[in-house]
Amino acid sequence: MDEFSSPTEGVVFHAGFPNAAEDARASSLSLDNLIVRHRASTFFWRLPEGGIPEMGWKGGDIAVVDRAVQAGTNDWVVAVIDEVFVIRQYRKQGNRIFLLTPAGQREAAQDGVLLWGVITFVVQQLRSV
Amino acid sequence: MARVFALIDCNNFFASCERVFRPDLWHKPVAVLSNNDGCIIARSNEVKALGVPMGVPLFKVEGLLKQHGAALFSANFTLYGDISQRITDVMSSMAPAIEVYSVDESFIDLTDLASSNYAAWAEEVRTRIWHETGIPVSIGIGPSKTLAKAAAEYAKRQGTTGTHLVLEPSDRLQLLEWLPLEDVWGIGRRFAAKLHAFGLRSAADVAALPDGWILKEMTIKGLTTVRELRGDTILLLEQDETERKTISRSRSFGHTIRNIHQLESAVATFTAQAMVKMRAQDSVTSGIVTYLKTKKVNDTNRNLATVTSFGEPSVDTGTAIQAAIEGLARIYDADFGYQKAGIILVGIQSKEAWQLSLLMPDSKRGKRTDLMSAVDLLNRRFGPETIWHASQNLRAARWHSKHELRSPAYTTSWHDLPTLHR
The answer to whether position A50 is within a domain reads yes
Residue A93 to chain B, least CA–CA distance (Å) = 23
Q: Nearest residue of A to residue B364 by CA position?
A: A12
Q: What are the pLDDT digits (tens) for A14-57?
A: 333 444 444 444 578 989 999 999 999 999 999 999 999 999 99
Shortest Cα–Cα distance, A16 to chain B (Å): 8
Question: Under an 8 A CB cutoff, do B417 and A45 touch?
Answer: yes
Q: Where are the beta strands (DSSP E) in A1-129?
A: 42-46, 62-66, 76-81, 84-93, 96-100, 114-123
Whether B417 is covered by a domain: the verdict is no
- Does the beta-carbon distance from B361 to A12 stay under 8 Å? yes
With respect to residue B418, please indicate whether it lies within any of the assigned structural domains: no
**Per-residue pLDDT, A44:** 98
Neighbours of B49 (CB within 10 A): 11
B386 in a structural domain = yes
> According to the model, what pLDDT value does residue B241 have?
54
Asked if residue B126 and residue B66 are part of one domain, the reply reads no
Confidence band for B304, pLDDT divided at 50, 70 and 90: confident
Identify the residue with better confidence: B35 or B171. B171
For residue A81, pLDDT over 50 is answered with yes
Residue B132 near chain A (CB below 8 Å): yes
Q: Please compute the mean of the pLDDT values over residues B41-64 and round it to a whole number.
A: 94
Q: Is the pLDDT of residue B368 over 50?
A: no
pLDDT tens digit sequence for B313-362: 888 888 899 999 999 999 998 888 999 999 999 888 888 777 766 665 44
**Averaged over B24-28, what is the pLDDT?**
95
CA distance A7 to chain B (A): 13
Are B86 and A21 inside 8 Å of each other by CB? no
Q: Which chain A positions have a beta carbon within 8 Å of B410's beta carbon? A: 43
For chain B, say whether A54 makes contact (Cβ under 8 Å): no
pLDDT of residue B158: 87
Could you tell me if residue B135 is inside a domain? yes
Among chain A residues, CA nearest to B27: A83
Per residue in B116-153, is it b (16+ CB within 10 Å) or e — as a string?
eebeebbeebbebbbebbbbbbbbbbbbbbbbbbbbbb
For residue A15, what is the nearest residue in chain B, using CA coordinates?
Answer: B312
DSSP A47: P
Q: Is residue B415 part of a domain?
A: no
B86 CB neighbours in chain A (<8 A) are 39-41
pLDDT band at A5 (very low <50, low <70, confident <90, very high): very low
Same domain, B134 and B111: yes
Its domain, for residue A42, covers 38-123
CB contact at 8 A, B406 and B73: yes
Residue B370 and residue B278 in one domain: yes
CATH code, B335: 3.30.1490.100
The reported pLDDT for the residue numbered A111 is 76
Is residue B251 located within the same domain as residue B394? Answer: yes
A24 at interface of B, judged by CB pairs closer than 8 A? yes
My answer on whether B351 and B390 are in the same domain is yes
| CATH number where B72 lies | 3.40.1170.60
Task: Supply the range of the domain harboring residue B19.
Answer: 13-79
Q: How many domains does chain B have?
A: 3
Instruction: Give the per-residue pLDDT at A16.
Output: 38
Q: How confident is the model at residue A119 (pLDDT cuts 50, 70, 90)?
A: very high
Contacts of B414 in chain A (CB under 8 A): 44
In a domain, A1, yes or no: no
In chain A, residues with a C-beta closer than 8 Å to the C-beta of B131 are 41, 67-68
Contact B187, B225 (CB under 8 A): yes
Say how many domains are in chain A: 1
pLDDT of B369 strictly over 50: no
* Spatial CA neighbour of A110 closest among A122, A98, A94, A93: A98
> Is A117 a domain residue?
yes
Please give the pLDDT value at position B276. Answer: 83
Q: Do B211 and B258 fall into the same domain?
A: no
- What CATH number did the domain enclosing A52 receive? 2.10.109.10
ipTM: 0.80
Per the domain annotation, does B408 fall within a domain?
Answer: no
Assess whether B216 and B86 both reside in one domain: yes
CB B309 within 8 A of CB B391: yes
Residue B4's alpha-carbon distances to A86, B112, B159, B163, B306, in angstroms, are 43, 9, 20, 14, 41
Closest by Cβ to A85, choosing from B23, B93, B352: B23
Within-domain flag for A65 = yes
Q: Are B95 and B130 in a shared domain?
A: yes
Answer yes or no: do A87 and B422 touch at CB < 8 A. Answer: yes
- Are residues B86 and B70 part of one domain? no
Q: What is the pLDDT of residue B373?
A: 55
Same domain, B221 and B353: no
- Considering the domain architecture, whether residues B252 and B395 belong to the same structural domain is answered as yes
Q: Are residues B28 and B146 in the same domain?
A: no
Let me know how long chain B is: 422
Stretch among A8-22, A43-57, B120-134, B406-420 having the lowest mean pLDDT: A8-22
Give yes or no for A63 touching B (CB within 8 A). Answer: yes
pLDDT (tens digit per residue) in B171-198: 999 999 999 999 999 998 888 999 999 9
pLDDT tens for B282-303 read 888 888 989 998 888 877 788 8
Domain end, chosen from B31, B64, B79, is at B79
Nearest to B420 among A20, A38, A87 (CB): A87
pLDDT band at B382 (very low <50, low <70, confident <90, very high): low
B288: Cβ contacts below 8 Å, ≥ 6 apart: B271, B307, B308, B310, B320, B323, B324, B327, B343, B344, B345, B346
Residues contacting B404, CB < 8 A, separation 6+: B37, B74
Residues 307-326 of B with CB under 8 A from A: 311-313
**Residue B164: what pLDDT?**
96
pLDDT at A59 over 60: yes
The domain that contains B100 carries what CATH number?
3.30.70.270
> Span B74-82, mean pLDDT?
89
Nearest residue on chain A to B417, judged by CA atoms?
Answer: A45
Would you say residue B50 has pLDDT above 60? Answer: yes
Residue that terminates a domain, selected from B79, B113, B134: B79
Residues in chain A: 129
Q: Is residue A9 part of a domain?
A: no
Burial B343-379 (b: 16+ CB within 10 A, else e): bbbbbbbebeebbebbbeeeeebebeebbebbbebbe
